[in-house]
Amino acid sequence: MEALKTFKKGGVHPPENKLSAGAPIRVLPLPDQVYIPISQHLGAPAEAKVDKGDVVKTGQLIASLHGFVSANIHSSVSGKVQKIDLVPDSSGYKRTTIIIKAEGDEWMNGIDRSPEINPVITASPEEIRKKIMENGIVGLGGATFPSHVKLSLPRGKKVDTLIINGVECEPYLTADHRLMLEKGPEIVVGIKLLMKVLGVSRGMIGIEHNKPDAIEQFNQILEGEPDISVHALKVKYPQGGEKQLIKALINREVPARGLPIDVGAIVHNVGTTFAVYEAIQKNKPLIERVVTVTGYNLQNPSNYLVRIGTPVSKLVEAVGGLPEDTGKIISGGPMMGKALSNTDVPVVKGTTGILIIPENQSRRKNIHPCIRCAKCISVCPQGLEPYLLMAMTQKEMLENLEMNNIMDCIECGSCSYICPSNRPLLDYIRLGKTTVGKMISTRKN
């Protein structure tokens, strides 16, 4: 067995708390009404293609991509468009949202809903890319970058490795873990599809060794597949960060402010890979995803297959309702997830999990003076000085912030996590990043 790989610089070890790792994926009952925002991805919002009163089928295109960096949106239920309105999403901002009242579950023709695995790849690279775009596939690890853009190589760039991200380094979340256990063969077909688009002959799956069953499963499936390999990684946050994962697996360092493609690698999440499989082999658009619902005070932390647009409240009901002492509701994991102000917001393509935190763990502790222990520096995976960036942000030293590479920050939160004085390092760094970002863009104009 090879030695466990990991990235070298920085990182923290928050308690893993994978409470729902043993809970098989269950299908959440259809909601009465879905709220589908037309912007669930990075880039330009899609353009709504339906109007109030239109009757739609499950899987029908209801908003089409606008520009290259954008993604199609499909209806996740069949029924009638109630209205198109501004509804707050998980960030708290109001977004244009298509509200559909569900009636039955009538799917579009041509979508293969049978459980049989279709391993025969007939599509050409061009067709695969086109179908990924048409079916609205975006990065399902949480970043929601449109996948077809990632698969369109800029001129002059070469790729030799496809990396599949099965790390799931966020504590509590188990959606990717369950998907790997239950849909392994499908994911492998998805990998082959992605390798075909990119024209690469090396595919690597990276999984942290706290998921030995998933690693073992891929080892078995991949017997006789010399081009694809699975690699056990040490458990360390933020190993699921693209740059950290590339460093861990193939020891290449993506240049600062550069992209993985600059070192010949492309990274896709396992969830995305499964969605690609369904899009090409089953002709199915991205209308549902696996979401972990978890927390220490929940009766049964679970993993659900959820239609996009389902209100978070339906998920919470499914696990027995909000516990009495709920203090915080988080969309995503505890390190990078967003705290929700209520449970009416919809599940979107980037929703990896819903985490319920009890009241006694939901408040920040008192802030003490910086004692210059340098722990923030030693855990920063990007080689930054968080204490300094925070101080400079407080003093609005924008040029100095830029010189100290504030824009390199990946907002993983390791610095705030480790600080013994409970200083809100990442809060200030985010503020500094936004301000410096504005300064840089005005300079360009």
Partner 1 sequence: MNKLITVAPSPHVFGEQSVKKIMLGVIIALTPALFCSVYYFGWGAIIVTLVSVISCLITEFLIQKFLLKGNLTITDGTAIVTGLLLAFNLPGNLPVWIIILGAVVSIGVGKMTFGGLGNNPFNPALVGRVFLMISFPVQMTTWPLPLGFKTGYADAVTGATPLGILKEGLRNGDQMSQIMEELPGYKDLFYGHIGGSIGEMAAIALLLGMLYLLVKKIITWHIPISIMLTIVLFTGILWLVNPEKNADPLFHLLSGGILLGAIFMATDYVTSPMTPAGMWIFGIGIGIITVLIRVFGAYPEGVSFAILIMNAFVPLINRYVKPKRFGEKIDYE
Cβ closer to partner 1: 257 or 444? Answer: 257
Q: Of 49-57, 135-143, 334-342, 436-444, which segment contacts partner 1 by CB under 8 A?
A: 334-342
Cβ closer to partner 1: 143 or 322? Answer: 322
Residue 393 backbone dihedrals phi, psi, to 5 degrees: -65, -40
Query: Of 124, 152, 219, 341, which lies in the binding site for partner 1, with binding defined by CB under 8 A?
Result: 341
DSSP letter string, 262-325: GGTEEEEEHHHHHHHHHHHHS---S-EEEEEEE-TTSSS-EEEEEETT-BHHHHHHHTTS--TT
- Report 166-205 residues binding partner 1 (CB under 8 A): 171
- Report 311-330 residues binding partner 1 (CB under 8 A): 313, 322, 326-330
Least gap, CB of 349 to partner 1 (angstroms): 19
Alpha-carbon 37 to chain mean position: 17
HSE-CB at 255 with a 13 A cutoff on CA atoms is 5
Using CB under 8 A as the binding rule, whether residue 145 contacts partner 1 is answered as no
Cβ closer to partner 1: 291 or 380? Answer: 380
Using CB under 8 A as the binding rule, whether residue 427 contacts partner 1 is answered as yes
- Report 115-134 residues binding partner 1 (CB under 8 A): none
Using CB under 8 A as the binding rule, whether residue 62 contacts partner 1 is answered as no
Least gap, CB of 340 to partner 1 (angstroms): 7
Cβ-Cβ contacts under 8 Å for 376 (sequence gap 6 or more):
385, 386, 387, 414, 415, 418, 419, 425
CB 386 within 8 A of CB 396: no
Using CB under 8 A as the binding rule, whether residue 380 contacts partner 1 is answered as yes
Least gap, CB of 255 to partner 1 (angstroms): 5
N-terminal to C-terminal alpha carbon distance within the chain? 54
Q: Of 102-110, 114-122, 177-185, 425-433, which segment contacts partner 1 by CB under 8 A?
A: 425-433
Least gap, CB of 413 to partner 1 (angstroms): 3
- Report 9-28 residues binding partner 1 (CB under 8 A): 9, 12, 14-15
Cβ closer to partner 1: 17 or 70? Answer: 17
Using CB under 8 A as the binding rule, whether residue 422 contacts partner 1 is answered as yes
Query: Of 30, 385, 398, 435, which lies in the binding site for partner 1, with binding defined by CB under 8 A?
Result: 385
- What is the rounded distance in angstroms from the CA atom of residue 357 to the CA atom of residue 335? 13
Cβ closer to partner 1: 133 or 384? Answer: 384
Query: Of 80, 229, 408, 435, which lies in the binding site for partner 1, with binding defined by CB under 8 A?
Result: 408
Using left for φ > 0, alpha for ψ between -120 and 50, and beta otherwise, residue 142 falls in left
Q: Of 55-63, 138-146, 273-281, 332-340, which segment contacts partner 1 by CB under 8 A?
A: 332-340
Using left for φ > 0, alpha for ψ between -120 and 50, and beta otherwise, residue 396 falls in left
- What is the rounded distance in angstroms from the CA atom of residue 435 to the CA atom of residue 61? 37
CA angle at 279 for the pair 273 and 284, rounded to the nearest 5°:
130
Q: How many CB atoms lie within 10 A of CB 208?
A: 25
Distances (CA, A) of 250 to 133, 162, 428: 28, 11, 33
Cβ closer to partner 1: 235 or 357? Answer: 357
Using CB under 8 A as the binding rule, whether residue 256 contacts partner 1 is answered as yes
Closest CA to 411 of 347, 350, 358, 333: 333
Q: Of 93-101, 192-200, 271-279, 380-388, which segment contacts partner 1 by CB under 8 A?
A: 380-388
Tell me which residue has tokens 């499950």.
Answer: 58
The burial of 332, by beta-carbon neighbours within 10 Å (0-12 exposed, 13-18 middle, 19 or more buried), is given as buried
- Report 203-222 residues binding partner 1 (CB under 8 A): none
Site map 347..376 versus partner 1, x via CB under 8 A: --------x-x---xxxxx--xxxxxxxx-
Query: Of 305, 405, 407, 435, which lies in the binding site for partner 1, with binding defined by CB under 8 A?
Result: 405
Cβ closer to partner 1: 305 or 322? Answer: 322
Least gap, CB of 11 to partner 1 (angstroms): 12
Structure-block tokens of residue 241 = 């960060």
CB 386 within 8 A of CB 326: no
Rg (CA), the chain: 22
Using CB under 8 A as the binding rule, whether residue 416 contacts partner 1 is answered as yes
Cβ closer to partner 1: 42 or 377? Answer: 377
